């Protein structure tokens, strides 16, 4: 039973989004437990599917999800408002599959909750932001842009993590996100080093 609990715990922190992640998906940083292919094979046979995970109230009736590759309608909301609200959530713990501040957030659950607070529907999974919005150079990033990263393997270029840009160029780009790394929760990070290697693009959804 203890072995199962250990494997189950390692599996929970290995992803970023509420869907079952690929082996390289999520924001599991350098100090996180390494898992081999054989470990994943054992997990596949032992662990429950996502639908059977413990309920965390993340799927609230008022949560608005947007299908992938569709336009996000920001209405009259200003990006500064969104960023200010996001900052009030710093310190909320990282919880795989959650989008509820009383429970915690994974990376896209955090973004979903922040934008839903303003009545803005967004995709629920970070990978579903791949073709949303307009790509802009990181050097021209503005407050309110979204920043996308790969999973833990930079060689696999699909999106596996995301954050909200809180500083505008030419200042050093900083973003707020829910990390399962050292911070284990909502935190602010600069784009540099580890994140530079995993950087995919910045997307703009505000006019």
- Helix H, strand E, coil C: the string for 86-133 is HHCCCCCEECCCCEECCCEECHHHHHHHHHHCCCCCECCCHHHHCCCC
Q: Of the listed 16, 117, 158, 161, which one is catalytic?
A: 161
107 is annotated as an active-site residue: yes
Going from the C-alpha of 21 to that of each of 78, 121, 124, 163, 168, the distances in angstroms are 32, 22, 13, 18, 31
Check 16, 107, 117, 158 and give the catalytic one: 107
Is 177 an annotated catalytic residue? Answer: yes
Q: Which two three-digit tokens encode residue 72?
A: 């996000």
Reading the block at residue 52, the tokens are 């059977």
Catalytic residue among 16, 117, 158, 177: 177
- In terms of Cα–Cα distance, which of 189, 190, 170 is closest to 179? 189
Q: Is 16 a residue of the active site?
A: no
Q: Tell me if 12 sits within 8 A of 32, measured CB to CB.
A: no
Q: d(Cα 151, Cα 160) in Å, to the nearest integer? A: 4
d(CA 132, CA 134): 7
**Residue of 90, 103, 83 whose CA lies nearest to 18:** 103
Known catalytic residues are 107, 161, 177
């Amino acid at each position: 039973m203890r072995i199962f609990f250990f494997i189950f715990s390692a599996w929970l922190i290995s992803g970023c989004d509420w869907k079952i992640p690929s082996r390289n998906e999520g924001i599991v940083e350098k100090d996180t437990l390494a898992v081999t292919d054989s470990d994943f094979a054992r997990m596949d046979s032992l662990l429950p599917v996502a639908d059977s995970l413990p309920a965390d109230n993340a799927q609230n009736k008022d949560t608005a999800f947007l299908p992938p590759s569709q336009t996000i309608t920001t209405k009259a909301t200003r990006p500064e408002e969104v960023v200010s609200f996001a900052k009030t959530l710093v310190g909320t713990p990282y919880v795989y599959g959650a989008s509820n501040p009383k429970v915690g957030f994974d990376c896209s659950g955090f973004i979903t909750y922040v934008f839903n607070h303003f009545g803005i529907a967004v995709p629920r999974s970070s990978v579903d932001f791949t073709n949303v919005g307009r790509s802009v150079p990181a050097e021209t990033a503005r407050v309110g842009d979204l920043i996308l990263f790969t999973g833990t393997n930079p060689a696999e270029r699909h999106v596996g993590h995301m954050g909200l840009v809180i500083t505008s160029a030419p200042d050093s780009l900083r973003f707020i996100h829910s990390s399962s790394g050292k911070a284990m929760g909502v935190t602010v990070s600069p784009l540099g080093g580890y994140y530079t290697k995993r950087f995919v693009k910045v997307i703009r959804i505000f006019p």
